[in-house]
Amino acid sequence: MQIPIPSDPLEDMIRTLNLDAAQGARTTEDIFIGPSQWMPHGRVFGGQVLAQSLVAAQRTMDATDGDDRTPHSMHGYFLRAGDINQPITFAVDRLRDGRSFSTRRVQAFQSGQPIFSMIASFQVHDPGLEHQDSMPLDVPAPETLPSAAEIMGENPHPVAQYWAKARPFDLRHVGSPIYFDVDPDQRVPHQAVWLKALGALPDDPALHRAALAYVSDYTILESIYRAHGIAWTHAGLKSASLDHAMWFHRQPKVDEWLLYVQESPSAQGGRGLALGRIFSRDGKLLATVAQEGMVRVPELRE
């Protein structure tokens, strides 16, 4: 099967995040339309609609008198699987604009049905208390680790080719990845992944935040699978993101190496919870992520 690998995956992501404002929008909402990227399973990538929703919300932040409000948190629910063959419509409600905070609700639609719903909060920069968790110290440099493209080689499977060539980020696991199997010595509910955009991005802070939201959905559930020796290729494995929360602490630069530290505190009832912290290479905590996912393993459901 020949898959449609974009000639420049990073440029393809940027194009996808460049939403069009819809003409004749309803007066109570701001309406935007965005394309969908190809995925081997035919469903819209959760990180894509998450990032597009953030872009839509950011586009309604009208800076006045130097009042530049940036997102500090977003909480979203994945309601239906999106169709990669259809564009997505984003409706933004301006719920509140206070003196320091603004709140936006974003609904993403395909064929008139909501596929994703999110509330995001924005804040004017405000000096205050400062502390953060420390970045792990015993982590090998990303340059010493193999890329997904190097691990996949010329594996012809469409999913392997997507992992190797179609993603706009270079992802390098600390320790062995779980694409095809799980190292018995690394069956633990935690992992770390280095990540970096495949090339330079425009110097636009809003784009870098959206790109960080995009990439935050790639490996966040893997700590759940890893703990039980479940690889992505496990026969009959069914998984899907249910919700996604993200807190932005400091401004990211996604075209520089970032470390995504992940852990799963619990799995039960066909669901698993995963937490993540994203650090800059020099140790700044940039964002915190939480996601619950559906995880169904066929032999446990018989």
7 vs 26: which has the higher pLDDT: 7
The Cα angle at residue 215 between residues 286 and 176, in degrees rounded to 5: 95
Mean of the pLDDT values across residues 117-137?
94
From residue 226, give the alpha-carbon distance in Å to each of 183, 213, 263.
Answer: 9, 23, 10
CATH, residue 37 = 2.40.160.210
126 annotated active-site: no
User: Is residue 100 included in any domain, yes or no?
Assistant: yes
User: Is residue 135 included in any domain, yes or no?
Assistant: no
Dihedral Cα 23, 24, 30, 36, nearest 10 deg: -40
58 vs 3: which has the higher pLDDT: 58
Whole-angstrom Cα distance, residue 196 to residue 228? 28
Q: Which residues pair with 69 in a beta bridge?
A: 124
Residue 173: which domain range? 9-125+142-300
What's the confidence (pLDDT) of residue 145? Answer: 96
Calculate what percentage of the chain has a pLDDT beyond 90: 79
Per DSSP, the residues of 10-51 read: HHHHHHHH-PEEPTT--TTSEEEEE-----TTSBPPHHHHHH
Edge-to-edge strands, sheet with 285-296: 20-21, 30-34, 88-97, 101-110, 113-124, 69-78, 238-248, 285-296, 271-280, 258-268, 190-197, 169-174
Per DSSP, the residues of 188-233 read: SSEEEEEEEESSPPPS-HHHHHHHHHHHTTSSTTHHHHHHTT--TT
- Residue 292 backbone phi and psi in degrees, to 5: -105, 140
Active-site residue, selected from the candidate residues 52, 161, 241, 262: 241
User: Is residue 134 included in any domain, yes or no?
Assistant: no
**Interval 179-195: pLDDT, tens:** 999 999 999 999 999 99
Whole-angstrom Cα distance, residue 145 to residue 31? 43
User: Is residue 137 included in any domain, yes or no?
Assistant: no
Q: Is 2 helix (H, G, I), strand (E, B) or coil?
A: coil
What's the confidence (pLDDT) of residue 65? Answer: 47
What's the confidence (pLDDT) of residue 302? Answer: 58
Q: Is the pLDDT of residue 262 over 80?
A: yes
Alpha-carbon torsion (31, 32, 38, 44), positive or negative: negative
User: Is residue 1 included in any domain, yes or no?
Assistant: no
Mean of the pLDDT values across residues 272-299?
96
**Interval 93-121: pLDDT, tens:** 999 999 999 999 999 999 999 999 999 99
Calculate what percentage of the chain has a pLDDT beyond 70: 95
Is residue 257 within 8 Å of residue 170, measured between CB atoms?
A: no
113 annotated active-site: no
Number of domains in the chain: 1
User: Is residue 27 included in any domain, yes or no?
Assistant: yes
**Interval 160-183: pLDDT, tens:** 888 878 899 999 999 999 999 999
185 annotated active-site: no
Whole-angstrom Cα distance, residue 13 to residue 166? 10
Place of tokens 């799980």: 182
Active-site residue, selected from the candidate residues 48, 217, 239, 264: 217
User: Is residue 118 included in any domain, yes or no?
Assistant: yes
Q: Is the pLDDT of residue 2 over 70?
A: no
Q: Angle 9-17/205-215 helices, nearest 10 degrees?
A: 110
**Interval 14-55: pLDDT, tens:** 999 999 998 655 557 899 999 999 988 889 999 999 999 999
Place of tokens 């699987």: 81
User: Is residue 132 included in any domain, yes or no?
Assistant: no
**Residue type (1 letter), 228:** H
Q: Across all residues in the chain, what is the average pLDDT?
A: 92
**Cβ burial, residue 126 (10 Å; 0-12/13-18/19+):** exposed
The Cα angle at residue 180 between residues 174 and 182, in degrees rounded to 5: 55
